[in-house]
Structure 1
Amino acid sequence: MSNPLQQYLDLYRNHEQAITAGAPAAMNTLRPAAMKALAGAVLPRKGSEDYEATDLAAVLAPDYGVNVLRRTFDADVAQVFRCDVPNLSTHLYFCINDMYHPTRTALLHDQGGVVVETFRQAWQRHRQLLVDHYGRLASLARPEVALNTLLAQDGLLVYVPDGVTAERPIQLVNILQAAAPLLAVRRLLIVMGRDAHAQMLVCDHSQLPAEAASLALSVVEVVAQENATFDFYDMEETTAANSRISTICVEQHAGSNVLVDGITLTNGFTRNNYHVEVNGEHASTQLLGMTIASGSQHVDTHTFIAHNAPRCHSNEMFKYVLNGSAVGAFAGRILVQPGCPRVEAYQGNRNLCASSTARMYTKPQLEIYTDDVKCSHGTTIGQLNQEALFYMRSRGIGEEQAKTMLMQAFVADVVDAVRLESLRDRLRHLVEKRFSGSLASCGNCVSPCKITD
């Protein structure tokens, strides 16, 4: 197919009534613009701008099925998932493919002022939030965003009102499960009010046989009002048959503090897009990421942080550890607008290729259009330190254990930046298992999710 997007345009035309039925008007209103954007879009291919290592057209080309009729998953969700983070007490929600399910630990409506509900529920209870914010940050100029906007039938709203602190983290466990190739279209909107505080953990898992290679297409929009604090952890443990295209867009106002941390432990193909607009003075952004890839895994990250106000700060660090024939890519851009002095912006990309067949592509960028700023960017690609390996082996440490210890040390600062202590401890354990080879694929989704209350 010369244009992979044509199949999705045809799907929408043939099933428009089913796709729009029951969806909030805020979603349906944007579909014509999304359709127009897709009709004129040219998908980037490998080697094009910001897609040095990734062929997006090839990822979207397969004939995926789409659950336009919203058929429910005939299973007890508690028997499908196990996303085990010991001693982490959360308000827990599940998303099976692209349908949302609360659990016994989920928030009751407006409990403590915090709202977590589907878009369809929100249209009855918090309509103005969707009207004001849905689709405002995620640009339809990106084909993956336009496709998500065209086909999404529901989503999840997280709203923390002014002055409210969420007492427990909010956890969303996504599961991609199918017997045939499937496209799951997910949407998440997070609105943090003034002086609000919250933490959220999103865990991506999959149960897919090789013949059911599927794609999760997600868009997340985060609005952080004045002096809000929000931590967002996005952790992927999926299988080789899983493809994922994720776009996270953040808007920060004065004094807000946002941390976004993307962690890929196992996967098939992943493209992560991060877009941050810093629109107020004294706002602080931390954008972090860690990828551990082996075999034929492919992880591509693109970041953009725009400093649109003076006296704000951003710190960006992404680390990759690649083994086997894994492919990694990082393209990061920081923009400091005219008239925005006293900005501090730092970008780093550190990469470790633990095999001769692993490949890493990196492209850091800084664009500064004002004076009196502190900005830097840098990237490194290297291999394991042979002198350190020799020293450790001379002290009686086995070669594989020594390599594991060096790789753990390499990513330690990114792991330590996790502010949820129980998640940080769990992540250390998962990283150790991943480097030792005992966590080769997602094995967490076959028994009940065990979260300690």
Structure 2
Amino acid sequence: MSTNQEYIELFKEKEGILDKASPSFMSEIRHDAMENFSKTGIPDKKSELYKYTSLQKIFEPQYSMLFQPSKVDFKVEDIFSCDVPNLSTRLEVILNGFYLKEKVSLRKLDNGIIIGSLAEAQKKYPSLVKEHFNKYAGSGSDGLVSLNTAFALDGLFIYVPKGQSLGDALQVVNLPMTGIDTLLHYRNLFIMEDNSSAEIVVCDHTLSPFRFLTNSVTEIYAGPGARFNYSRVQNEHLNSNLLTNMFIHQEKDSQVKSNTVTLHGGTIRNNTNVLLNAEGCDSQVYGLSLADRTQHIDNYVNIDHAKPNCTSTQLFKGILDDQATGVFNGRILVRPDAQKTLAYQTNNNILMSDEAKMKSKPQLEIYADDVRCSHGATTGQLDENALFYMQSRGIPRKEARLLMLYAFAHEVIDKIEVVPLKDRINDLVNKRLRGELSRCNNCSMACGDLPLPK
């Protein structure tokens, strides 16, 4: 039996559990998603979008799947405490694909902001969820999104009403922690109404040494005038593979910034899809990848300029060593009505070894005539002339290399607006480049001291 057929049969087997766990409107969405998956399956290298990333390989192990929250004997503060100086955050945890509640699974603040479990939000606020859920990811997406839509039971829900601000940054920690190889699906839905604002910091970690494959989908709605900043730090072990799918829908005069820093992991594929659906939108998508050993990091970005007078910026950088491989595929689509578009895309990479490899594919599709668009990609090694100059000024070669790499990476890190977080990421990247950072050195997790969830 093929891997695709195994998931189709598993869905049939667990259909009753899935339907029972969610309100009735979700059943139709799940069934439509599985029908789409039965046609598309897991993307393979025959697909142009996955030409350089073998998903079949990471789906091969016999993963277990969870259909209910894990029972834990510890509190959130026992497993994680933010060690970013001067950064005030609210902490939310997704444990094995389910929202980890302390006292309540969903809370509504005095200003109308709602934060908590997506599964609970589907039950308490069905109209609000139905208005946005799966409207931006869509049932016609690739097989990864369909598989997530069919199986994901929970995740994080955030709703910020008109004119409101989330205030302190919200820190979301995604934690795979089981005693067996596990495939995890979770779904996030963030709704930003008119002129609202929020700052989200997402941290991907691993609390046990087993194989994990995480397939997540995040939908973001940014209403007119909304401001949304999204920072992500991916820091897992080599047996932990990440597939992230982010869909951003922007309305008039909204601004959404996304910055993903990848430090550690096995195979990582980040899909970012942005629709600029009204005039005055601003989209900024940044990424920094540091890869060594046998890591594989693939970033795909698709920005759809559907309306006039919008701007978009893509800046992705990669530093690859040993046998690491990287991929960047960035697409800018400018539709016929999208006059006065400003769109820029840059991908720069440094190879630190002869065995490291990078594939870069910048794309422009322009169907309007009054636009300013540019794209460019470079892949090479450190400038020997610059290294020689620094050595002639008394800087040891090893230190000179580190300084050049740090300067190269800093351009992306500098786009992070929260200063304490920016300073902490600078420190992490500096340690990572020096080989001083393991996947657990950047947080206060008590990984080895906790009992596995039941």
Query: Scaled by the length of structure 2, what TM-score is found?
Result: 0.94
Distance 1:409 1:26, change over 3 A: farther
Distance 1:337 1:213, change over 3 A: same
| 1:207-254, Cα deviation, whole Å (9 max, x unpaired) | 232xx2111110000000101110011211111110010000000001
Separation (CA, whole Å) in 2 of partners of 1:267 and 1:247 = 17
Separation (CA, whole Å) in 2 of partners of 1:238 and 1:442 = 8
Corresponding residue of 1:236: 234
Distance 1:203 1:369, change over 3 A: same
Deviation at 1:26, TM superposition (A): 3.9
Letter in 2 for 1:338: P
Please say if residues 208 and 239 of structure 1, whose CA atoms lie closer than 8 Å, have aligned partners that are also in contact: no
Deviation at 1:57, TM superposition (A): 1.8
The answer on 1:100 being equivalent to 2:72 is no
Deviation at 1:136, TM superposition (A): 0.9
Percent identity for Structure 1 against Structure 2: 35
Letter in 1 for 2:112: G
Q: How does 1:340-351 map to 2 (within 5 A)?
A: 340-351=338-349
Corresponding residue of 2:172: 172
Separation (CA, whole Å) in 2 of partners of 1:222 and 1:447 = 32
* SS class of match (1:404): helix
The answer on 1:300 being equivalent to 2:298 is yes
Deviation at 1:196, TM superposition (A): 0.5
Letter in 1 for 2:94: C
- Post-superposition, which runs of at least 4 consecutive aligned residues in structure 1 deviate over 4 A? 102-108
* SS class of match (1:5): helix
The answer on 1:423 being equivalent to 2:421 is yes
Distance 1:28 1:87, change over 3 A: farther
Separation (CA, whole Å) in 2 of partners of 1:105 and 1:327 = 43
Corresponding residue of 2:372: 374
Separation (CA, whole Å) in 2 of partners of 1:126 and 1:15 = 25
Please say if residues 105 and 120 of structure 2, whose CA atoms lie closer than 8 Å, have aligned partners that are also in contact: no
Letter in 1 for 2:351: C
Deviation at 1:442, TM superposition (A): 3.5
Deviation at 1:32, TM superposition (A): 0.8
Q: Which has the higher contact order (CA 8 A, sep 6+)?
A: 1
Deviation at 1:88, TM superposition (A): 1.0
Separation (CA, whole Å) in 1 of partners of 2:24 and 2:202 = 26
Deviates more, 1:55-64 or 1:419-428: 55-64
Separation (CA, whole Å) in 2 of partners of 1:445 and 1:175 = 14
Letter in 1 for 2:196: A
* SS class of match (2:65): coil
Corresponding residue of 1:451: none
* SS class of match (1:254): coil
Distance 1:337 1:324, change over 3 A: same
Corresponding residue of 2:9: 10
Q: How does 1:150-229 map to 2 (within 5 A)?
A: 150-209=150-209, 212-229=210-227
Deviation at 1:170, TM superposition (A): 1.1
Please say if residues 93 and 173 of structure 1, whose CA atoms lie closer than 8 Å, have aligned partners that are also in contact: yes
| 1:70-107, Cα deviation, whole Å (9 max, x unpaired) | 34234333222244322111111111111212469999
* SS class of match (2:205): strand
Letter in 2 for 1:190: F
Corresponding residue of 1:386: 384
* SS class of match (1:46): coil
Letter in 1 for 2:190: I
Provide the alpha-carbon RMSD of the alignment: 1.9
Corresponding residue of 1:60: 59
In the alignment of these two chains, the number of paired residues is 445
Please say if residues 83 and 173 of structure 1, whose CA atoms lie closer than 8 Å, have aligned partners that are also in contact: no
Corresponding residue of 1:143: 143
* SS class of match (2:191): strand
Letter in 2 for 1:166: L
Q: Unpaired runs of 5+ in structure 2?
A: 448-454
Separation (CA, whole Å) in 1 of partners of 2:263 and 2:94 = 20
| 1:313-342, Cα deviation, whole Å (9 max, x unpaired) | 001111111111111001111000012210
Corresponding residue of 1:90: 89
Separation (CA, whole Å) in 2 of partners of 1:424 and 1:33 = 42
Corresponding residue of 1:21: 20
Q: Unpaired runs of 5+ in structure 1?
A: 449-453
Separation (CA, whole Å) in 2 of partners of 1:113 and 1:34 = 32
Query: Scaled by the length of structure 1, what TM-score is found?
Result: 0.94
* SS class of match (1:207): coil
Separation (CA, whole Å) in 1 of partners of 2:106 and 2:431 = 33
